[in-house]
Amino acid sequence: MSTYTAINLIARPAPGPIGAELFEIVQKPIPSAGPGQILVKQTHMSLDPAMVGWMNPDPESYIPPVALGDVMRSSGIAEVIESNHPDFSVGDRVMGMTGWTEYVVSTGEGLRKVQPGLDPEMVLSVFALPGLTATQGFFGFGNHKAGETIVVSGAAGSVGSIVGQLAKAEGLNVVGVAGSDEKCDWIVKDLGFDGAINYKTDDIDAKLTELAPKGVDIYFENTGGPIQHHVIEHMNAHGRAIVCGMISDYTAETPSAGPNWIPIIKKRITVQGFAMPDHFAQLPELVSKLTPYVMQGKIKYRAHVLNGLETAIDGLNMLLTGANNGKLIVKL
């Protein structure tokens, strides 16, 4: 009997790096599609910072945690290899929440067809969770005006890089915060950001004064950590802080202190946290909003590809340390 590989979550993460002991690699018989079902073979799997949060047992999170013993949750692209469903044919490519597994039996619920001929790395880098999150966050909560200044943390990441490019296309002054000179060079020279701050080596306050001389109107937060304190101090009255992620705190033993509330009060800053499951009903609208920017060549990306399902475990740590250069994808 032919088998396939899946990876189950069997323990909750402790502070620090993600360890292989949290997972169990299992072999299962390849199933068949039942009535009204399809069998898909995953070809490309997305690794996203949110996955670290999904591993934790927090009952108040925006999405239920992955249950111990279940296949680790993730999104990906797969090919239909068997179909008993009228809406799917063998050979169709689909994307959705596929998990850390080579094969999935599905009713088709939550799966979207991928247009033939599109590069799967582009699809996962732009039209999957990163691009949709960036589009919803920036257009849904930014209330931007041309000429304003936006600061994006995690600016070389999959979400931040698209936020910055959308903002630039809309006529904003865009400042990105990243963790290496190479990433800073990439977002300025290749993506068109107006300036970049290396939070590990630069004097952040001095760089904000230089790159945002009129103050900061929008802060798109992807990372958390000390950068948030500096940016809040430089924000203008009625500024908007959009809180998308806090990856620096996801595995920290003690979460970093948040910004001082006094400037938030004095400047009447709006702080908006959001999570994409609240907006899944809007996916067609978000895709339509993002597509023209992509078609006009205003959105660039780069993918960091790992090979083989089991590389996903170490891949999560790359997200935590910033060792990846581009959207992290596992090719199966």
Is the pLDDT assigned to residue 93 strictly greater than 80?
Answer: yes
pLDDT average, residue stretch 293-311: 96
Question: What is the number of other CB atoms lying within 10 angstroms of the CB of residue 129?
Answer: 22
Is the pLDDT assigned to residue 155 strictly greater than 80?
Answer: yes
Is the sign of the CA dihedral 302, 308, 313, 317 positive or negative? negative
pLDDT average, residue stretch 50-55: 90
Is the pLDDT assigned to residue 257 strictly greater than 90?
Answer: no
Q: Where do the domains of the chain lie? A: 3-118+302-331, 133-277
> Is residue 6 within a helix (H) or strand (E), and if so which, with residue range?
strand 3-9
Q: pLDDT by residue (tens digit) across 313-326?
A: 999 999 888 899 88
Is the pLDDT assigned to residue 249 strictly greater than 80?
Answer: no
Q: Which CATH architecture has domain 3-118+302-331?
A: Alpha-Beta Complex (3.90)
The pLDDT of residue 16: 84
Query: 128, 146, 195, 165: which is closest to 293 by C-alpha?
Result: 165
Instruction: Say which CATH superfamily domain 133-277 falls into.
Output: NAD(P)-binding Rossmann-like Domain (3.40.50.720)
| Top-confidence range, 60-69, 87-96, 241-250 | 87-96
Is the pLDDT assigned to residue 1 strictly greater than 80?
Answer: no
Instruction: Provide the strand spans (E) within 87-213.
Output: 93-97, 103-106, 112-113, 149-153, 173-178, 195-198
- Show the DSSP H helices in 235-279 as ranges: 261-266
Q: How confident is the model at residue 183 (pLDDT cuts 50, 70, 90)?
A: very high
Neighbouring C-alpha atoms within 13 Å toward the C-beta of 284: 5
Per-chain mean pLDDT for the chain: 94
The tokens 């390849």 sit on which residue? Answer: 30
